[in-house]
Every structure is written in structure tokens, then in C-alpha cells.
Amino acid sequence: MSSVLFDVPGPKARARNRGLAVVGVLAIAALIGFIIYRFAVAGQFDGKMWTWIEYTTVQEDLLSALLNTLKAFAAGAVLAILFGAVFAVGRLSDRAIFRVPSTIIVEFFRAIPLVVMIFAFHYGLALGAPFYSVVLGLTLYNGSVLAEIFRAGILSLPRGQGEAAYALGMRKTQAMNLVLLPQALRAMLPTIISQLVVLLKDTALGFIITYEELLRYARYLGGIAEFGRPLVPVTLVVGAIYITMCLLLTALAKYLEKRNRRNKKVTPGVAAKGEEIQLTAEAAGGGAAATL
Amino acid sequence: MDVLFDNLDLYGPGFLTTVELFALAAVGSLIWGTILAMLRVSPVPVFRAAATTYVTLFRNTPLTLIFFFFALAFPLLKIVQISFFTAAVTALILYTSAFVCEVLRSGINTVPVGQAEAGRALGLTFGQILGSVVLPQAGRTVVPPMVSTMIALLKNTTVAAGFSVVEAGAIQSYLSERGYNVFVGMLWVALFFIILVIPMTLLQRSLEKRWSVAR
């Protein structure tokens, strides 16, 4: 493989790279080996620690905990997309009465940690079941980030698109709904889905306010004495489940991105702006400062 | 106002811990993230693969789960006994560095090909090209997303509240014990975060202006 950063390696460089590769493999193997060794010494690989996985009730409970995670994800995703669309249009409005409040709301909810929001809703407002606080938090936070993504998508469309719509005699609402939003949505779809990965990961925060989701069940399962308190095995399994779900969503985003690149209906360059917002939003926080 | 001033003994140390967590994790994740980014573009395929795997795994794991591991499962392995605070810093560094790496890598992609080619024409090695030509330019272009990543890190410190690290996010449980209105209490915490975020945004703007590369 050649890269801009280094030449195609010659014989000397190949030998050196091979040497480095060997050192690298040894170092990584040593690290993984050490981790496995510590796990083994701590008895985490004992048969007893893994028996829980064979119980039908445990499997069923694990599945229903996963369903709870997915429920929060689905509700949060739908509401966040709605919230995002409404507030993106609000921020782009010509009228200050819509624009100013939308801007304040979006910037406010992006600047506050989701944990603080969830705490405030659950313990402060006592919304009842933890599910509501989790979903409300996910909606407000990710909805605000999505609003920025939608807005960036609309703003980065060629000016001619809006102008042509007005030239045809469309009203602002028509131009937005019929011309601008559909194009922006299509271009932003991969970014939107990547943001949903963030939302999926954030459902794990429900753990903190005792929402009975996957991580909460892991905590419970890991504490059962009968199974030898299998915290490490449970963490590994639950981690694998989360990573698989997120990778599936990421794969969908990548597929759509590839299709977008082939599709002539998508304005090139529009998606790039969204990617920049997303990259930073993905760290599980949009930051009040994603520059636009 | 009362909630804040009556409980300054809570808010003071809580906010201080947040700032400490943030500062340590920021420095740590910038260093580790840069190393990962260098590995990801290195000429040795094994290094590239290892760094890519790391980034993929950590980007797709909830931060809460990483905290969960360090707070609950890690002590069982009896490798070293670490405090909750150290565990929180470690979890934040491991998680955030994956994003720092991605931001830097996107920055490396924006550096014109000619820059690296010129370096190679001068006979610079891979390390020299990366260290003196490409990374300094990449670092400057990624100031805005990097600061946003750091703001995300700042907000993520609150996850530590779920795992008995006394920082700003944990204040609510003490407030409710003392019988104060938790919602108002959390509004103060929210305000604190907004106050911390604003100087970072200003810093971002000024760095962006001062450091931007003429191209």
C-alpha cells in the first residue's frame, strides 16, 4: 500500500517495517495475554462464572432488558428527529419570534450534559417512570444536535435551489418543504444515522437513574452470588451486544453514504458540513460551539 | 440563589472535581489520541489495524459501559487498586482518545498532498514528515472540532456521577438528602457548565483565527 505520507517501501524499509510489525504484534499479544491472564487468575473464566448464560430465564431477562434499551432508543430517535426538524426550520425562520427562541433552546440543550438533564427530569421534576426522563433527555439533547445537522444541510444547498423555488412563485414554506428539506434530508441521511448511534449509546445513561435497560440488568446479573458474581463476563457480553448494535447502524450509514455518492440527485459537498458537526457530536456531546 | 449558597460546601468541591477530571482527561486523551492517529497512518499495517480496531471498539461502546467496567469489574481483577477518581480519568481518556484520533485523522486528510510530497523530496522520514510537516498543519485545521470534542469531554465528566465520583453531576443526591429542590439545584449545575463552555468557545474562535493555515 502506498500513501502520501510514506514512499512505497524499498527492501530496507520493508525489513524495518517487518521488524516493527513483529514488535507490534508481540506488544499487542502481550497486552491481550496479560489481560486474559489476569481474568483467568481472578477466576473470571471459571465455568461457574459463565453458567448464567445457559439459564433460559436469564436469557429471557437479558432479551427484555435489550428490548427496553431499544424502546428508549426508538422513542428517543423518532422524537429527536421531529424535534430536530421543527427547530432547524425554526432557526432558519425569517421571523424573530420563531428564530430567537429556537436558537436559545437548541444552544441551551446542546451545552448541558445529558446526565444533568436526566437527573433534573427524574429527581427534580419527578416525571415518574425513569423511561420518561431518559426519553425526554435523549430527545432534547440529540434533537438539538440533529437540528444543527438539518440546518447545516439546508444552508449548504446551492443558493440557486431556493431562488429557483421563489422564482416559480413558491412561498417560503413551500420552498422549504418541497425543495430544500427533501434535498437536505437525503444528503444528511448518513450523518443523521450516525447521530442515532450516539443516541443508542446514550440510552445506557438510563442505568444511572435505574431504568431497567441492558446495563442495569448487567449490574443486577453481575451481583448474583449464585453465579459467582460474574461481573467481568457479563460486561464482556453486554459490551459485545452494544458494539454489534452500533456497528450495524454505522454500516447502514456507510451504505447510504456510498449510495449517495453514486446518486446524481444529491448535491455534492452538502454532506461534508454535516460530517464535521457529527464527528464532534459523536463524542456524546455536540458542544455549544460546533462552528457553522 | 439559596440552593447554591446554602450548599456551597457541596458545589465547591463538586465543581472543582469536575475541572480536575476534565483537565487530566483532556491532556491524557490529546496525547493518547495523537499517538493513535499516528499509528493509524503509519507504514506498518499491524499498527494501522490495531489503532483502527481500538477506535472502532471504543467509538461504539457507551461511555457508561466503560465507566461500569472500571468502577465495578476492574477491581475484581486485582491488577492495581485504583481510586474511583483514577478510574474515571482512565475511562474518559480511553473513550475520548478514539474521537481525538478521528478528528486528527480528518485533519491529516485536509493537508494538501504536495506538503507531504515536498517533505519526501527533501528526504524526510515518515516520522519527520508527520511530526514537522503534516501534524502541525492538521492540528491547526482541526481546532474547531477538537475544541468541540473537548467540550463533549467536559460534559461527559458528569457520567462519573453515576459511579460515586463526587463531581458536579453528583450534587443532586446530596441535595435531595438535605431536602432542597433538586430541579433548581440542577439548574445551577447546568449554568456552571454553560459558564465553562463559553470561554472554551471564545478560545476556539481566537485559536481558529490565530492558527489558521494560509492555503
pLDDT in tens, B130-187: 888 888 888 888 888 888 888 889 888 888 877 766 666 667 667 766 767 777 777 8
The answer to whether B4 and B190 have CB atoms below 8 angstroms apart is: no
Instruction: With CB atoms and an 8 Å threshold, state whether A231 touches B76.
Output: yes
Closest to A195 measured CA to CA, from A111, A98, A78, A278: A278
Instruction: With CB atoms and an 8 Å threshold, state whether A38 touches B77.
Output: yes
Instruction: With CB atoms and an 8 Å threshold, state whether A205 touches B120.
Output: no
Chain A nearest-CA distance from B160, in A, is: 10
For residue B43, the chain A residues in CB contact (below 8 A) are 3, 5-6, 9, 13, 17
Residue A161: how many CB atoms within 10 A of its CB?
15
Chain B nearest-CA distance from A185, in A, is: 23
Q: Which member of B60, B96, B187 has the closest CB to residue A283?
A: B96
Burial of A195 (C-beta count, 10 Å sphere; 0-12/13-18/19+):
buried
- Rounded Cα distance, A217 and B154, in Å: 28
Closest to B59 measured CA to CA, from A278, A77, A134: A278
pLDDT of residue B167: 66
Closest to B189 measured CA to CA, from A115, A143, A181, A281: A115
pTM to 2 decimal places: 0.85
Q: Closest-CA residue in chain A for B152?
A: A285
Q: Which member of A119, A124, A279 has the closest CB to residue B106?
A: A279
**Number of alpha carbons in the 13 Å side-chain half-sphere of residue A183:** 24
The answer to whether B201 and B144 have CB atoms below 8 angstroms apart is: no
Closest to B7 measured CA to CA, from B172, B154, B157, B159: B172
Closest to A241 measured CA to CA, from A224, A218, A221: A218
Closest to B134 measured CA to CA, from B110, B156, B167: B110
Instruction: With CB atoms and an 8 Å threshold, state whether A205 touches B159.
Output: yes
Q: Is the dihedral of CA A14, A20, A23, A24 positive or negative?
A: negative
Chain B nearest-CA distance from A263, in A, is: 24
Alpha helices in chain B (DSSP H): 2-6, 8-40, 45-59, 63-68, 74-77, 84-110, 113-121, 126-128, 135-141, 143-156, 171-177, 182-211
* Grid coordinates given for A253: 450509514
pLDDT of residue A286: 36
- Report the residue of B67, B68, B122 to disrupt the A interface, i.e. the one with the largest count of A CBs within 10 Å: B68
Q: Closest-CA residue in chain B for A214?
A: B65
What stretches in chain A show pLDDT beneath 70?
A: 1-4, 264-292
Closest to B159 measured CA to CA, from A221, A283, A236, A107: A283
What stretches in chain B show pLDDT beneath 70?
A: 1-7, 164-170, 172-173, 176-177, 179, 213-215
pLDDT of residue B24: 93
Chain A nearest-CA distance from B103, in A, is: 7
pLDDT of residue A291: 31
Instruction: With CB atoms and an 8 Å threshold, state whether A4 touches B208.
Output: no
